[in-house]
Structure 1
């Protein structure tokens, strides 16, 4: 039921304002201090173009990737416009930010890990610097096949493998050992030092043509670092059984 607007407080006679705007369809809420509209005018202090953008934002439930596709803009352009609208609405304080940002985070999590990495690399024009576990940074470059760590000539971390690692880590309860120390030290796949469900053991068996009992190349260091750079996991030092990722 829609109620008639009350412009003044019935207790102190102070000026009333709208503090929450809510979409009936998807439930998204926008918090702020909006003046009560007069004569059907918009309660949002925005130009028509910005209002159309907000409507599109609600339509896609905060999924900026879909908005970018519909408008023919980059993800960075959409994110910039969201921030500009927040500024116009005086929502720059953290506690007043549009609550639709919460849905953005959810939508990002719904994307494939590889899609998120592609988007983040595109935002940086295909080149970025990724921090390794020891603190040093390496240059990474976007390729059609995956992400190329410049310090590892000829090697590309492949899109399909990023997705498979994340899926396997979730199957393991969110924690997956890298196996990098074992691989680097010449341990055999399936041994205590290089389990089949470690990153290096798992991807070597599934994607790099290895079998249980073989040795393999250390690749997990790069996959784990790039996944952590993209915000998809936490890359952790050894807990006594080896380094690992948490998702």
Structure 2
């Protein structure tokens, strides 16, 4: 099993930084203070969601199918991911496709009118 880099200190919860890089082929080592990428600071679950979201090319309906979760859950996890990556101050405007998806789910009986209204209010 391959080890993955952790981005947060398991003792105090602060963000970690890399202090050495090593080449296994030539045994070169580079020392210094290097920052990890934003993805390294995500939880395992957040990274998995991001991977599925990218694999599905951002198609929320496909993410729903892949993970077996509802539209509101996908939106919630996506918002959590966006905030975890430091973009929580940016305002995201809903697009026509999101509105149409909600109407499709309502029409197909996947959600009720009250749920559709709550989702639309939160977009």
Q: Equivalent residue for 2:72?
A: 76
Runs of 5+ unmatched residues, structure 2: 1-33
Match of 1:50 among 46, 49, 55: 46
In structure 2, relative to structure 1, the CA distance for the partners of 1:123 and 1:87 (3 Å cut) is farther
For these two proteins, the number of residue pairs brought into alignment is 82
Distance (whole Å) between structure 2 residues aligned to residue 91 and residue 121 of structure 1: 33
Q: Equivalent residue for 1:90?
A: 86
Runs of 5+ unmatched residues, structure 1: 1-34, 130-229, 231-247
In structure 2, relative to structure 1, the CA distance for the partners of 1:120 and 1:83 (3 Å cut) is farther
- Superposition deviation, residue 105 in structure 1: 4.0
RMSD: 3.7
Distance (whole Å) between structure 2 residues aligned to residue 125 and residue 73 of structure 1: 13
Distance (whole Å) between structure 1 residues aligned to residue 45 and residue 68 of structure 2: 16
**Contact 2:61–2:71 under 8 Å retained in 1:** yes
- Superposition deviation, residue 51 in structure 1: 0.6
Say if 2:27 is the partner of 1:36.
no
Tell me the TM-score normalized by structure 1. Answer: 0.27
Distance (whole Å) between structure 2 residues aligned to residue 105 and residue 53 of structure 1: 21
Give the number of the structure whose residues are more often strand, by fraction. Answer: 1
**Contact 1:36–1:43 under 8 Å retained in 2:** no
Q: Report 1 or 2 for greater relative contact order, CA contacts < 8 Å, sequence distance ≥ 6.
A: 2
Tell me the TM-score normalized by structure 2. Answer: 0.50
Give the number of the structure whose residues are more often helix, by fraction. Answer: 2
- Superposition deviation, residue 73 in structure 1: 0.4
Q: For each residue in 1:46-94, what CA deviation from the matched residue of structure 2 results, as whole angstroms up to 9, or x when unmatched?
A: 0111111111111111111110011110011000001111222221112
- Superposition deviation, residue 126 in structure 1: 1.3
**Contact 2:46–2:81 under 8 Å retained in 1:** yes
In structure 2, relative to structure 1, the CA distance for the partners of 1:89 and 1:123 (3 Å cut) is farther
